[in-house]
Amino acid sequence: MKAKLDIFALPSKETLEFLDKIDNWIIKEHRDSANKIVFTFSKDVPEEVVELFLKIRDKIDLPLSEEFHVES
């Protein structure tokens, strides 16, 4: 009997950056009608964090919506 070997890919650089610098600013998430993730950021999220998110979101290993919100 052969042993089963699972192979896992490392997350992208952008996904690691998201987890390190952006994820803590997210207070809610939900799925849109296309089953993509929509984030809501804390109202005190720094502008640089939102800019970084916009810069790297297409390379993050998650099904992200183009839509996002900042808490009012």
What distance in Å separates the CA atoms of residue 48 and residue 41, rounded to the nearest whole number?
A: 13
Residue (of 55, 69, 64, 56) closest to 25 by Cα position: 69
Q: Please state the separation of Cα 50 from the chain's center in Å.
A: 12
Question: In the chain, what percentage of residues exceed pLDDT 70?
Answer: 94
Structural domain boundaries enclosing 38: 13-70
Residue 8: pLDDT band (50, 70, 90) is confident
- 61 in a domain, yes or no? yes
- 33 in a domain, yes or no? yes
Q: What is the pLDDT of residue 65?
A: 97
> Structure pTM?
0.83
- 6 in a domain, yes or no? no
- 47 in a domain, yes or no? yes
Domain count, the chain: 1
- 8 in a domain, yes or no? no
